[in-house]
Amino acid sequence: MDKAINKGYLQENFRLFHLRDRLAPRVEPHYHEFDKVVVLYAGAVDYTVEGVSYRMQPGDVLFVRHHDIHCPVIDPNSDYERAVLWIAPEFLDRLDREETPDASGEEEPGLRLCFDRTSELRSCHYRPCHERFSRIRRLLQELERAIGSEDFGADLMRDACIALLMVELNRMVLSTAVAEDRSTDDQIEEVLRHIHLHLSDDLSVDTLASRCYLSRYYFMRRFKESTGYSVHAYIQQKRLTTAASLLEQGLGITEAAVRVGFREYSSFLRAFRKAFGMTPGEYARTAPQLQSEYSE
């Protein structure tokens, strides 16, 4: 793959899908500007997230952070049924700000904990007990009904349902060990961690291959097999999405470009416009407006 695929933005607080496929289409590796939760009801799927493949079975839950490259490979021999929740990170932040402070005065972890812990634990795949999974499924059903309602207080009910669901998902993450059904190329996984931590450094193919003590071409082949991306496309995508996050935080354009490894502003400008459809300056001005849309 020569170009990272951005599957789009979320112009609302969240969206919930309940999907059933007999013959699910092939999905290319991609990323989103929003966080995603996948709850598997039926079927079998291998979900690859940032070079790690997770074997999911009914009753499993998977968390995908915004900007993480992921791709499902679906078993065509069974029905594939799942709930998929797209949720804006800024919306979770708003729910946290509205939360009543703990009586002890201590600040509790926010609702994005379930996504943030994927880096810490190097896994995003959980297999909750039957009782907890039943609660999660019931909360998803209540949220689905609330979304379709036009009764009095429907908007408030929807926000209450999503808050209850996110609380339950975070409780699951805090009390359940990650599932062990995963496969990965340990050398490539270590390279991915190095890339994430050293975006401003020399990340040429030769430099990265030398870290694995692999030949240039063998390394490139294994990297593509693990991530679905060429080395260049993966690094470019990580640099650009990190730069976009820095711009959202108010960092200057030139400083953001340098921090993620662009030595020439003209190169950064061309790559950023191609990825996001606007210049870095336009993005920096638009980002606060997009975030305010999420908070309405």
This prediction has a pTM of 0.84
**Residue 237: what residue type?**
Q
The strand ranges marked E within the chain are 14-21, 35-42, 45-49, 52-56, 61-64, 70-74, 80-87, 125-126, 182-184
**Residue 105: what residue type?**
G
Residues near 236 by Cβ (< 8 Å), separated by ≥ 6?
4, 271
Pairing of strands 182-184, 52-56: antiparallel
Q: What is the pLDDT of residue 276?
A: 85
Domains within the chain, CATH numbers bracketed:
14-182 (2.60.120.280), 185-294 (1.10.10.60)
Give the Cα-Cα-Cα angle 124, 287, 113 (nearest 5 degrees). Answer: 25
Q: What is the pLDDT of residue 245?
A: 87
Which residue, 159, 157, 176, 165, is CA-closest to 117?
A: 176
**Residue 61: what residue type?**
V
**Are the beta carbons of 66 and 208 closer than 8 angstroms?**
no
In eight-state DSSP terms, residue 294 is H
Cross-strand pairs, 46: 55, 73
Residue 164 CB burial class (10 angstroms; 0-12, 13-18, ≥19): middle
Looking up tokens 């005065």 gives 105
Q: What is the pLDDT of residue 2?
A: 52
Which residue, 227, 17, 40, 16, is CA-closest to 126?
A: 40
3-state SS, one letter per residue, for 115-155: HHHHHHHCCCEECCCHHHHHHHHHHHHHHHHHHCCCCCCHH
In order along its 296 residues, the chain shows pLDDT tens digits of 455 555 555 778 999 999 988 766 678 888 888 999 999 999 989 999 999 999 999 999 999 999 899 999 888 888 899 999 999 988 998 888 766 555 555 567 799 999 999 988 889 999 999 999 999 999 999 999 999 999 999 999 999 999 999 999 999 999 999 998 888 888 998 999 999 999 999 999 999 999 999 999 999 999 998 888 899 999 999 999 999 989 988 899 999 999 999 999 999 999 999 888 899 999 888 765 444 333 22
Q: How many CB atoms lie within 10 A of CB 162?
A: 23
